[in-house]
Structure 1
Amino acid sequence: MLTGLSLRFRIFLLFAGVAAASCAVVGAALYFGYTRITDTTPASGFLLAGILSTFGLLAISVSIWLLFDENVAKPVQRLSAAIRTTAHANVDASIDLEEAKYLGDLAPAAHAVAWRLTNDSADTEELVSDATAQLASEREQLALLLTEIPVAIVLVSPAHKIMLYDGQAADILGQVHVPRLSATIFDYFIEEELRAAYDQLIELRTEIAVDVKGARGNLNFQLRLKKLRGMSGYMILIDDATARIAPEAPRPLIYDFEAAQHHFEKEIEERSLRDLNFVVFDTETTGLMPNKDDIVQIGAVRVVNGRIIPGETVDQLVNPGRPIPAASTGVHRITDDMVADAPDPITAISEFHAFAKDSVIVAHNAPFDMAFLHRYGHLSGHAWDHPILDTVLLSAVVFGADQVHTLDALCTRLGIEIPAALRHTALGDAQATAQALCKLLPLLSSHGFNTFGDVIEQTRKHGRLLKDMN
């Protein structure tokens, strides 16, 4: 019935009701106090009336607050979150008109704005699709052309950060470790030897041929260093016939020229979110007790410059050295036979430590997964002192602490679909968490939280959520 009235008139009725109820409570309290005067003193009667009035007015205030919180504050918070999600995360967020029925025309107006934003975004995507298709076609042709070149190519910034590598270079670098954009090239080749060749290249300004050992010292590589014309940095050509891929095999180009140029003189708290490299990971385990159970799988992806980098992943089964309980297998579908030849937890965690170097660690309910890393890191001598973000807390910052913050609920709000076959696999859940992170980053910026320090300050307000989950 009230929904047919204007919002202003409903607010008037609310305050009129509060005034009437308050007068009724005070009047009733005074009357009751007056009736007690004959049995006690007048002062006692007025004192009793005052006490009853106080409790009555408190009850009215609490009732009004509960009504306002449920019918105004929460709907407004969810409306604002839906509009921000539509505007900044490119998600068609649903608006529950029934939930916001007491907000007058606000919910329908917000729905109209969200609908317009969605349609405008669709129109914009259609306009740029042709250009994107053209760029993709040119990139594919370039990749096919590179396939015919019998060397692997890596472009490196003046700060010795990887800006680009092709599929063949990925195979070669992968003999040392998983290739990573914006990682230092010295993670793959002995620093002293490569720096000496680079200094010679700068001095002679010509192509330099050099033999360099891999960073682990067990492999030798024939490299040619070449200065880049028209741009800073240099090119590394690796002639390694053993790592060549078949001409018909895919040879993707992985690059991000902007991310490799970032300089990190600032403390981590002062750095922009877009300047950070993230490693988003998940684990599957033998159980839910980090102090007693063991890891059976690690999955991780890298997010650089706000996007997931294809191919830069970890998908590693782990042999826990003990039988996997049937109840756990029922969740993640990993059996004892599957991990029989897999590395032990200490080896797997050590490899993952190298993959996560110089990155912010991200996980959903991070304390659980990080407990395993700290435990094995203590045994292997690797300190897990990386900065950490938890998507549970990021979800609370963006959508409010009163929402459900499971991975499934977060993905539903952000329009992310987790294929059933990948749910409760380490890499599948890490991919979903990484997609959520990529959508949460612009939402955090839209709230004015632009630096890592800003975000950490906000997440600390919701730390209780993790205590309740664990």
Structure 2
Amino acid sequence: MFSLRTRVFLFFCLMAASGMAILWGALWLGVSRNPDDLQGAMVLAGISGSFALVAITAAVWLLFDEIVVKPIQRLAASMRTRAHTGVEVEVDTHSARFLGDLAPAVHAVSKRISDSAMDTARAVASETARLAEEKARLTALLTEIPVATVLANAANQIVLYDGQAAEVLAQGGVPRLNAPLFDYFDEQSLRAGLGRMHKTGMDQRFKLQGLEQGLEFDAVLKPLDAGGYMLLIEGETLRTAPDATRPLVYDFELLSHQPTGDLASTPLRSLVYTVFDTETTGLLPHKDEIVQIGAVRIVNGRMVAGEEINQLVNPGIPIPASTTQVHGISDRMVADAPDIVRAAGRFHHFARGSVIVAHNAPFDMAFLRRHAERCQLTWDHPILDTVLLSAVLFGASETHTLDALCARLGIEIPAKHRHTALGDAIATADALVKMLPMLEGHGMRTFGDVIEETRRHGRLLQDLN
């Protein structure tokens, strides 16, 4: 086996030999065709030699791209995946076989990183288990108290809510961390209570109005020394134990969160993402309809358990049998489901104040935007597409289907959840969570940085659609 230096040397020898062969061959061709016309012979030799040089250069470039550039890109992508996500991606040593000892060296370094990460992970897992036990005790304690508890920061955004509070918030929409309380309660009544609390610095008992007419709660505001406040909602209706799928939900980092107002300069991890997917009656957004919407939320770089939408939608038209075979949704299943107006409105509220994320976003958004006027909704959310993020991180020449992206990132989609709106949304969200640190590792730390880079790969979406 030749060493890498020898291979490169032989590669350039081949280029030199090819150039010389083309030069002498062109001269011979020119002289043999025009033995009595030296000028004509030189012109013919120059033209034929130029075409031959262009051809050999193109061939050499294709060969170099295939055996050097692409393998290096794959090695770099696998290294970044391991470094930033902890996923044990298999190093493709076969495609990098012409790069000498580089691939085995990358494999050795990656293995050392993985071994070190495993030791750290064990320590983190032990501490996580302890914190989870404490959280379970706190959740059980709050369950016994017939008071709905919400913690908000100085910007009136939700930092914590318990199971009882989730039931109250659900009357105004799906509960969401980092969402303004004014999305769930009447702003005037809440600001009046807050004004008295800030003025006196003491607890304030008041009547809190809901968004629906006639909805009213007995509430208490408690100021916090660290900033922000607690909102306690009392009432006999809260004595029922909360749903088991609604544990205590919180992120204390949001206590110090202050909206910047400038989206382009906002760090990627500071953004709230709503990741969604749809299932439809077909693949033509101008005439087919949505039959299911699935969505989850990512706050501070992690998916928030319990904050999701899994909504069947009545399309108003028959679902073709061939489409039912793909996603398993039949006419009978959607007969009593809400129409697109109600379903889109619920999703629009769920995605308020966030970046919408989807895999091949133009396809899914086209269905929603077609009904925007009918739904009286404006889809002006900033949007990220994981197809383009995959191209930025792994190279445009790779395959960028959801299955291929998940395989590269070590994400497993259970077969029963594939081609369901929520299942695909969760897989896309898992992929986004893993790609965020990789993007930062590439120097793209703000939303503006990512948008500028993804614009270079817009042609991928045109080809997909």
Q: What is the TM-score when the length of structure 1 is the normalising length? A: 0.96
Choose which of 10, 14, 18 in structure 2 pairs with 1:13: 10
* Change over 3 Å in CA distance of 1:61–1:250 after alignment to 2: closer
Structure-2 residue corresponding to 1:339: 334
What amino acid sits opposite 1:62 in the alignment? A
1 CA distance for matches of 2:398 and 2:300? 28
Contact 2:147 2:238 in 1 (8 A): no
- How far apart, CA to CA, are the structure 2 residues paired with 1:456 and 1:248? 40
Q: Which amino acid aligns with 2:16?
A: A
Residue 215 of structure 1, CA deviation: 2.1
What's the CA shift for 1:263? 2.3
Alignment partner of 2:21 out of 21, 24, 32: 24
1:402 & 1:250 partners in 2: Cα distance?
42
How far off its partner does 1:257 sit? 2.1
Residue correspondence of structure 1 range 102-181 to structure 2 within 5 A: 102-181=98-177
Helix, strand or coil: the match of 2:146? coil
Which one of the candidate residues 406, 410, 416 is aligned to 2:405? 410
Pairing partner for 2:48 from 48, 52, 67: 52
Residues 128-170 of structure 1: CA deviation (Å, up to 9, x unaligned): 2221111111111111111111101000111101110111111
Quick check: 211-220 or 24-33, which moved more? 211-220
User: Following the alignment from structure 1 to structure 2, what is the Cα–Cα distance between the partners of residues 273 and 157?
Assistant: 21
Alignment correspondent of 1:466: 461
- 3-state SS, counterpart of residue 309 of structure 1: strand
CA distance in 1, matches of 2:322, 2:206: 55
Output the CA distance in 2 between the equivalents of 1:248 and 1:287: 36
Q: Find the aligned partners of 1:248 and 1:322 in 2 and give their Cα distance.
A: 35
Q: Tell me what 2:322 maps to.
A: 327
TM-score normalized with structure 2 length: 0.97
- Asked whether the equivalents of residues 228 and 255 of structure 2 are also in contact (C-alpha less than 8 Å), the reply is no
Matched-pair contact (CA < 8 Å) for 1:166–1:253: yes
In structure 2, distance between residues paired with 1:368 and 1:257: 36
Residues 143 and 251, structure 1, Cα contact 8 Å, conserved in 2:
no
Q: Distance in 2 between matches of 1:234 and 1:72?
A: 58
Q: Check the 8 A contact 1:91/1:414 in 2, yes or no.
A: yes
Quick one: structure 1 residues 260 and 325, their matched pair in 2 at CA, closer, same or farther if it must change by over 3 Å?
farther
CA distance in 1, matches of 2:362, 2:245: 38
Cα deviation, 1:220-246, whole Å, max 9, x if unaligned, reads 111111112x31111011113324443
State the Cα deviation string for residues 243-275 of structure 1 (Å, max 9, x = none): 444389465211112235332334211111111
| In structure 2, C-alpha distance between the alignment counterparts of 1:249 and 1:183, rounded to whole Å | 23
Residue 41 of structure 1 aligns with an amino acid whose one-letter code is D
SS of the residue 2:445 aligns to: coil
Is 1:246 equivalent to 2:251 in the alignment?
Answer: no
Q: Determine helix, strand or coil for the equivalent of 2:117.
A: helix
Q: CA deviation at 1:300?
A: 0.4
Distance of 1:322 and 1:49 partners within structure 2: 69
Q: d(CA) in 1 for partners of 2:195 and 2:243?
A: 38
2:446 to 448, 451, 462: 451
Establish whether residue 67 from structure 1 lines up as the match of residue 77 from structure 2: no
CA distance in 2, matches of 1:319, 1:91: 39
Aligned to 1:97: 93
Q: Check conservation: 2:393, 2:438, Cα contact below 8 A.
A: yes
Against the structure 1 CA distance between its residues 247 and 34, is the aligned structure 2 distance closer, same or farther, given a 3 Å change threshold?
closer
5+ unaligned residues in a row in structure 2: which ranges?
none
Structure-1 residue corresponding to 2:353:
358
- Residue from 33, 38, 41 that aligns with 1:36: 33
Q: Would the aligned equivalents of 1:190 and 1:217 in 2 still touch at CA under 8 Å?
A: no
Residue aligned with 1:99, SS: coil
**What does residue 394 of structure 1 align with?**
389
In 1, Cα distance between equivalents of 2:214 and 2:346: 16
1:2-45 CA-to-partner distances (Å, cap 9, x unmatched) read xx11111111111112111211111111122222333x511001
- In 2, are the aligned partners of 1:181 and 1:260 still within 8 Å (CA)? no
**How far apart, CA to CA, are the structure 2 residues paired with 1:411 and 1:194?**
44
**Residues 148 and 233, structure 2, Cα contact 8 Å, conserved in 1:** yes
For the pair 1:198 / 2:231, whether they are aligned, the reply is: no
Name the SS for the 1:141 alignment partner: helix
Sort the Cα spacing of 1:10 and 1:156 in 2 relative to 1 into closer, same or farther, 3 A.
same
Q: 1:309 aligns with which of 300, 304, 307?
A: 304
| 8 A Cα contact 1:283 1:298, kept in partner | yes
User: Is 1:182–1:260's contact at 8 Å kept on the other side of the alignment?
Assistant: no
The answer to whether the 8 A contact 1:167-1:251 is kept is yes
Q: How far 1:89 sits from its partner (Å)?
A: 1.4
Structure 1: gaps of 5 or more residues = none
Structure 2 residue 236 is the aligned partner of structure 1 residue 210:
no
Distance 1:181 1:118, change over 3 A: same
Instruction: State the identity %.
Output: 56
